[in-house]
Structure 1
Amino acid sequence: MTIASDTIDEAVIEQCEERLRLAMLAGDVEALDTLLADDLIFIDHQGRRASKADDLQVYRSGVLELVQIEILDRIIKPLDNAALVSLRARVAGAYYGEKFSEKLAYTRVWSRTSGAWTIIAAHCSRITM
């Protein structure tokens, strides 16, 4: 029995996504540093563009502290040396000391370079419906 490469890539991306979720919850800047590409482009839930350094600083400074990331659903679309992830999650924590709990939609692009998977682009939006 052979396993399609798409299946293998999807399982690997699921593992990467879980490592990302755990790193975000722990505020683990070192783990996030390895999961985010140096040239990351991230658009946050308020439409602001952030770099990898900007995103890491939010965790490093304690501005963002997450206590819950519950994945509601996820679609992974394997590509040649990349994968597109679309997911919805219930996220709770504190941002600048203000508690929040909301549903968010994320789109991420994982890219495989030299055998390592990193996020090269990400977008986050509030779910208002």
Structure 2
Amino acid sequence: MTSSDDGLRPSLDHAEDQMQAAMLAGDVDALDRLIADDLQFIAPDGATVSKAQDLESHRTGQTRFDSIAEVSRRTAVSGDIGTTDVVCDVVILDGGQRTEATVAWSRRWLLQSGRWQVTHGSATLLAPHE
């Protein structure tokens, strides 16, 4: 089922837009609102990242996005659960190392207290750019 804004609930596509904007801006407050406290996120290296770890990496500048350009998106909603699968070309600085790549993010969202929050997710490196 594709996401739609039925006027009664916030749009999952809008939440995904907010997530990408917050990542690009390094907006820790916005990320805090968009990420559930019990987040389980699998990084491209296979490590499991918690909400606290993710927020700290953005807060300290350990992780910083210089650009995020969406290539494709698939959104699905069933009741209060949704998923977004997004492919983006990114420029990221992680631990001081600059990487240009195509990345796929899969996020599982839960509508809680009137807002979408990511509960589970993963990032996969599809192709580094030369």
Task: Please say whether Structure 1 and Structure 2 have the same fold, judged by a TM-score greater than 0.5.
Answer: yes
Q: Which residue of 1 aligns with 2:39?
A: 40
CA distances 1:1-48 after superposition (whole Å, capped 9, x unpaired): xxxx94226971111111111110111101100000000100011110
Which consecutive unaligned segments of at least 5 residues does structure 1 have?
none
Displaced runs of 4+ in structure 1, greater than 2 A?
none
Which consecutive unaligned segments of at least 5 residues does structure 2 have?
none
Q: SS where residue 127 of structure 1 aligns?
A: strand
Structure 1 residue 7 corresponds to structure 2 residue 15:
no
Corresponding pairs, count: 126
CA distances 1:55-89 after superposition (whole Å, capped 9, x unpaired): 10110111111111111000001111011111111
Q: 1:126 to 1:80 in 2, by over 3 A?
A: same
Normalising to structure 1: TM-score of the pair? 0.90
Distance of 1:73 and 1:23 partners within structure 2: 18
Distance of 1:98 and 1:113 partners within structure 2: 36
Q: Which residue of 1 aligns with 2:53?
A: 54
Aligned Cα RMSD in Å?
2.1
Superposition map of 1:58-73 within 5 A: 58-73=57-72
Superposition map of 1:82-93 within 5 A: 82-93=81-92
Q: SS where residue 79 of structure 2 aligns?
A: coil
Distance of 1:71 and 1:6 partners within structure 2: 18
Between structures 1 and 2, the one with greater helix share: 1
| Structure 1 position 97, deviation (Å) | 1.1
Instruction: Return the letter of the residue paired with 1:28.
Output: D
Q: 1:11 to 1:116 in 2, by over 3 A?
A: closer
Question: Percent sequence identity over matched residues?
Answer: 30
